Amino acid sequence: MSAGVLSLDAGAALAEQLRAAGKRVVFTNGVFDLLHPGHVRYLQAARAEGDALIVGVNSDRSVRAIKGPARPLTPENERAEILAALACVDAAVVFDQDTPADIIRCIQPDVLVKGADWAADAIVGRDTVEARGGRVVRIPIEPGWSTTSIVAAIHAPRGN
């Protein structure tokens, strides 16, 4: 069941409908600039934590604020479309804030997933999710995969 790319209001409504049907809603977020196997494996693991996965996608403006003026490489609407096309993703929602706190308050997920590179006490939205009885899951990051390292490899001089 893919709802595709949704507005924040539509994403919140979808989450509410799913919960009303007894489903566990999982939420994660990120930039997802150049989609690579590490992203796909992470999203599949996130989806396995519940019945539906909603992915928050950082807007182009928020990516520049976080990663600098050279990013993102792929525009927000295209990143969201690619994510929403994955079988493990039920919906993608673009958000413009520098943190996912507001989108997490709107979606009210049952499970919040972040990479294990985040310290448990530094996970934004943890308080919101746990206050309503939800849980936070940290998923190991696939070694050897990062958009930053892919970009660096593309720009690295190559010998002949």
- The C-alpha atoms of residue 17 and residue 125 are separated, in whole angstroms, by 21
* Residue 69, in any domain of the structure: yes
Full domain range(s) for residue 16? 4-144
Residue 102, number of CB atoms within 10 A of its CB? 16
* Residue 97, in any domain of the structure: yes
**pLDDT tens digit string along 41-73?**
999 999 999 999 999 999 999 999 998 999 999
Q: How confident is the model at residue 154 (pLDDT cuts 50, 70, 90)?
A: confident
- What's the pLDDT at 141? 85
Residue 119, number of CB atoms within 10 A of its CB? 9
pTM here is 0.91
Quote the distance between the C-alpha of residue 31 and its chain's center.
7
Number of domains in the chain: 1
* Residue 154, in any domain of the structure: no
Taking residues 78-104, what's their average pLDDT?
A: 97
* Residue 56, in any domain of the structure: yes
Q: Is the pLDDT of residue 99 over 80?
A: yes
* Residue 43, in any domain of the structure: yes
Report how many helices (DSSP H) and strands (DSSP E) the chain contains, helices first.
7, 6
* Residue 151, in any domain of the structure: no
Average pLDDT, the chain: 92
- The C-alpha atoms of residue 41 and residue 27 are separated, in whole angstroms, by 15
- What's the pLDDT at 102? 97
* Residue 36, in any domain of the structure: yes
Q: How confident is the model at residue 160 (pLDDT cuts 50, 70, 90)?
A: low
CATH number of 89's domain: 3.40.50.620
Taking residues 7-16, what's their average pLDDT?
A: 98
* Residue 101, in any domain of the structure: yes
**pLDDT tens digit string along 128-145?**
999 999 999 999 987 776
Cα torsion 5, 96, 76, 58: sign: negative
- What's the pLDDT at 145? 67
